[in-house]
Amino acid sequence: MSSLTFKAEHDATEFQPDPNGFLFDPRIRGILARTGRKIEPGTEAMAAVRILGKRMHQMMERWADQHGLSEGRFQILVRLHHQADGRMTMGDLAGMLDVAPRTVTGLVDNLERDRLVKRVDDPNDRRAVHAEITDQGRERVKALWQEAVAGQAGLTRGFKDSELIQLRHMCLRLIQAMSVEEGKTHATS
């Protein structure tokens, strides 16, 4: 665990408002103070983003597990469901999910066992294998999708539309900034 992250069991009721009414995490400020670092908005913001990402991943894993899936298997089903022909190569799935091809193979093995996905040879390339969603898989995605949308609505219910638009905007700006920094790193290596 890095010095600016903590267990997901962290009690969110410990967050406190600053003089302007904006929440901050006193544990993060305490870590910064103990390590002699300056308390800066950027550092606190990035710590909050890391914690949120971890919590969202854990919540998604628990939700998927309740439905007999993992987050990875659910992601594959959703990706295949949104393809016009319901299929993608294993390599394309690995790239889209940013995981190793062997990881996709294991996920598809489980989905195939549950009859949610089947493997289909590519008639144009003997080396390529597609994962294709089955009718049973499509039905599963439709049922789970409605529940997922309801869960997301529950999480965002207390926010104004303008706040959600700002949140979206800030997250996408961070992604842009990360892409720029990654480009600098790759350009110099």
Domains and CATH numbers, the chain: 13-66 (no CATH), 71-141 (1.10.10.10)
* pLDDT the model gives residue 36: 93
* pLDDT the model gives residue 11: 66
Distance CA 65, CA 96 (A): 22
Distances (CA, A) of 183 to 81, 95, 98, 176, 187: 32, 19, 18, 11, 6
pTM of the predicted structure, to 2 decimals: 0.73
Question: What is the DSSP secondary-structure string of 129-154?
Answer: EEEEE-HHHHHHHHHHHHHHHHHHHH
DSSP state at residue 70: -
Each residue's pLDDT tens digit, 10-57: 567 789 999 999 999 999 999 999 999 999 999 999 999 999 999 998
* Residue 4: pLDDT band with limits 50, 70, 90: very low
